């Protein structure tokens, strides 16, 4: 097994799943891994191309609509199809579903950043060709999608015809039965213009409601001076190339496709033409080299090397590569639950970003991490507006599901009620500042978000008669338990925000800092508010049962009856697809880590004995129906010393998409789980934590692994970490010496 790539040798199996696995993206746009030439009609396929942050908005229809319910949805759109290329030899159409396939291999190469499909095909009349497709979404020219084809005649001379298509007749999938799949109007994009100019073709399309515009443009280069003609149809344009094949000789054909959209390109079509013309000055090899150079730099700081477990090594690199492909790299975009590989969850951005994905970028590529926070700042005014819609007189409430900033979750018990989205974002801002010491970001953007989030969380809470600060009627991470009082996770992260915001404010200089002084005036922020936050943090109520030495997930959790796991058929999982939400809410049953996640993020809020007890209690009642769950149980199993269990949970995290463990990867990758696989390595097996501005390690390597190596970017330093058994060696590759803590002992790193 080559752990630097994913290979497939069976083209006729699980095609829709592989469209996801072999998707190509660069953070701006993504293209599913469909065959350029298409497939038979009976094969399920979702042929899609998506732009990060490009969406349609539609009215949400309710049977009974109450105050504060979101008005409109936002759904990522399948945009103009630029993949299409058909090949004819001697009037026989190349297809893997006719003639004979003598050799087939498809490879997603994590170093080259390219999908390579290699085929030897014998036509029904016996003509044999070798054909190789290479495709990439350029990391260095974000609008550019390239397909390069080499065609060799093995046993004949004859005619060749290549038809390259740009198609504006696209649609989204619709599913009413699975809430994890998009339910947008299938036909949401209308063609407004088709242009042909100097062997280039352009289709311009516009959404009906969001009024966003996308332009796709294509052009071509080839090695044989094939004769080109262009046919313009109602919704597509075909470029037809004709020429001759000679036995033993190879024809090279390159398709250049460019995407531009309203958000990044105010003059969409003219900017598309300019980018396309510039790209045509370079051959495919130029962009292939640039792609590999970009990835060399990425892997230099991001790779995690496992000795002794090639399957897990491959799974991990696959995950990290897809995270890079999926993450938004500008202020208009974030990273959706399915990346840019499918339409699951309608392309929405969730809390997944901050808690599961952000740490990977924070400790390896902090500039990309900052991009994710910049997006949250971009939609801050939407969060302020949402707070007012929800009856709050002050502060900001970030949307549970969104693309452009508005709340899009119509199911409030497991949507809007998850106020922890606010403190998840705050937690990441605090982590970012601790790791990067980026004062400029904090004074310009970070503190404004923290203040508005803290105001909101203080507003929804109250001091009860015994002086404890409580937060009522919220939903924690566990979506099988909704609308509760004092969810442990929400309360402990809110406490962290209340305690930390004053410390950071003082550290940044308070009113002596001109930026902060301006911020106090802009927000009408009073120093008394910091005092109130601190009081609430100190008085925060964290549910605890002293008799059981357990933290109930919320005030009422232990009063509910247990779910009957023994008599629940396997086919009834995930439970959310087979039981009414109220049935789930009445039981002690968890979809995913909740209290245990709180322990991971803020371990020092409880003693280790209680954490162990909580772990064992919640492990028995957690279904892991969410892909966000097993990584947290792996990390915390390591922390409490249950190492075999930690490895078993890690297996279910690292290869979840490759092995299709949740049976829905066809709808898109699971980006949060991918981030969780990195966390399982660094926070789990290496036991790394950030406590009071210092790195702590509690290392333990799985039995079958010989070593584990990774790098950490921390406070403008690069640390090289090497694990063997229960020991860790840390070397300073870049920056000033610093102290870290290993198993409670201070160690100087230089």
Active site residues: 479
Chain Cα centroid distance, residue 244: 45
CA-CA distance, 630 to 628, in Å (whole number)? Answer: 6
* Phi and psi angles of residue 676, each rounded to the nearest 5 degrees, phi first: -65, -30
How much of the chain is helix, strand and coil, in % rounded to 5? 35, 25, 40
Q: Is 622 exposed, middle or buried, given 0-12, 13-18 or 19+ CB atoms closer than 10 A?
A: buried
- 424 within 8 A of 359, measured Cβ to Cβ: no
CA-CA distance, 675 to 357, in Å (whole number)? Answer: 5
Three-class SS state of 536: helix
DSSP secondary structure letters along 79-112:
--B---EEEEETTEE--TTSSEEEEEEEEEETTT
* Phi and psi angles of residue 205, each rounded to the nearest 5 degrees, phi first: -130, 155
Whole-number Cα distances in Å, 327 to 54, 179, 357, 372, 584: 14, 23, 9, 8, 34
The residues, any chain, with a CB within 8 Å of residue 557's CB and separated by 6 or more, are: 481, 484, 543, 588
* Phi and psi angles of residue 597, each rounded to the nearest 5 degrees, phi first: -65, -40
Helices and strands in the chain: count of H runs, count of E runs: 20, 31
Question: For residue 503, how many other CB atoms are within 10 A of its CB?
Answer: 12
Rg of the chain over Cα atoms, rounded to whole angstroms, equals 27
Instruction: Find the helix packing angle between 366-378 and 447-460, rounded to 10°.
Output: 60
Lateral strand order in the sheet of 694-697:
689-691, 694-697, 738-742, 745-749
Element (H, E) at 709: strand 707-714
């Amino acid at each position: 097994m080559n752990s630097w790539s994913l290979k497939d040798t069976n083209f006729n199996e699980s095609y829709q799943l592989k469209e996801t696995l072999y998707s190509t993206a660069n953070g701006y746009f993504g293209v599913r891994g469909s065959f350029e030439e298409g497939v038979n009609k009976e094969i399920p396929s979702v042929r899609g191309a998506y732009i990060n942050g490009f969406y349609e908005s539609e009215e949400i229809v309710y049977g009974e609509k109450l105050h504060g319910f979101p008005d409109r949805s936002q759904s990522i759109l399948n945009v103009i199809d630029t993949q299409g290329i058909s090949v004819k030899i001697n009037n026989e159409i190349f297809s893997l579903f006719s003639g004979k396939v003598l050799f087939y291999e498809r490879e997603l190469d994590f170093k080259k950043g390219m999908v390579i499909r290699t085929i030897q095909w014998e036509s029904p009349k016996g003509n044999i060709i070798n054909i190789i497709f290479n495709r990439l979404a350029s990391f260095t020219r974000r609008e550019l999608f390239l397909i390069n084809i080499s065609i060799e005649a093995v046993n004949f001379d004859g005619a060749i015809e290549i038809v390259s298509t740009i198609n504006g007749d696209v649609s989204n999938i619709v599913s009413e039965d699975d809430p994890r799949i998009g339910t947008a109007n299938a036909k949401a994009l209308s063609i407004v213009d088709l242009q042909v100019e100097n062997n280039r073709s352009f289709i311009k399309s516009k959404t009906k409601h969001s009024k966003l515009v996308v332009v796709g443009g294509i052009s071509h280069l080839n090695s044989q001076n094939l004769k080109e003609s262009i046919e313009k149809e109602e919704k597509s344009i075909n470029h037809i190339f004709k020429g001759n094949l000679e036995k033993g000789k190879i024809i090279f054909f390159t398709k250049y496709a460019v995407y531009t959209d309203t958000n990044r390109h105010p003059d969409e079509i003219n900017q598309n033409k300019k980018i396309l013309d510039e790209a045509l000055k370079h051959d495919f090899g130029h962009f292939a080299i640039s792609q590999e150079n970009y990835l060399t730099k990425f892997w230099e700081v991001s790779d995690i090397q496992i000795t002794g477990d090639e399957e897990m090594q491959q799974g991990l690199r696959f995950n990290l590569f897809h995270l890079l492909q999926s993450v938004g790299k500008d202020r208009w975009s974030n990273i959706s639950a399915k990346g840019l590989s499918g339409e699951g969850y309608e392309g929405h951005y969730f809390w997944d970003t901050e808690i599961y994905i952000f740490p990977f970028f924070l400790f390896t590529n902090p500039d990309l991490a900052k991009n994710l926070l910049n997006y949250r700042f971009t939609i801050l005014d939407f969060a302020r507006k949402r707070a007012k819609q929800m009856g709050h007189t002050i502060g900001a409430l970030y949307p549970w599901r969104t693309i452009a900033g508005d709340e899009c979750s119509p199911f409030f018990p497991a949507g809007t009620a998850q106020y922890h989205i606010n403190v998840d974002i705050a937690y990441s801002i605090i982590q970012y500042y601790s790791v990067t010491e980026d004062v400029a970001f904090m004074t310009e953007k970070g503190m404004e978000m923290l203040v508005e989030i803290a105001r909101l969380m203080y507003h929804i809470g109250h001091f009860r008669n015994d002086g404890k600060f409580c937060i009522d009627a919220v939903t924690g991470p566990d979506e099988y338990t909704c609308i509760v009082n004092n969810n442990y996770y929400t309360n402990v992260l809110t406490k962290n925000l209340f305690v930390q915001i004053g410390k950071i404010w003082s550290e940044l200089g308070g009113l002596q800092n001109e930026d902060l002084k301006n911020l106090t005036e802009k927000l009408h922020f009073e120093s008394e508010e910091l005092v109130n936050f601190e009081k609430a943090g100190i008085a925060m109520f964290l549910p605890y049962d002293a008799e059981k030495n357990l933290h109930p997930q919320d005030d009422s959790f232990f009063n509910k009856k247990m779910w009957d796991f023994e008599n629940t058929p396997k086919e009834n999982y995930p439970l959310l697809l087979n039981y009414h939400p109220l049935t789930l809410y009445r039981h002690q049953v968890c979809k995913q880590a909740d209290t245990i996640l709180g322990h991971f993020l803020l371990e020092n809020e409880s003693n280790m004995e209680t954490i162990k007890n909580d772990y064992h209690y919640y492990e028995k009642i957690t279904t892991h129906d969410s892909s966000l769950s097993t990584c947290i149980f792996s990390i915390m199993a390591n922390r409490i010393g249950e190492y075999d269990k930690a490895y078993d949970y890690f297996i279910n995290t690292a290869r979840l998409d490759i092995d299709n463990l949740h049976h829905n990867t066809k709808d898109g990758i699971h980006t949060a789980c991918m981030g969780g696989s990195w966390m399982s390595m660094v926070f789990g097996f290496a036991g790394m934590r950030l406590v009071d501005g210092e790195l702590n390690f509690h290392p333990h390597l799985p039995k079958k692994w010989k070593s584990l190596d990774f790098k950490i970017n921390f406070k403008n330093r690069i640390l090289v970490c090497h694990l063997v058994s229960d020991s860790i060696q840390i070397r300073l590759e870049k920056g000033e010496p610093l102290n870290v803590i290993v198993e409670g002992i201070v160690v100087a790193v230089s």
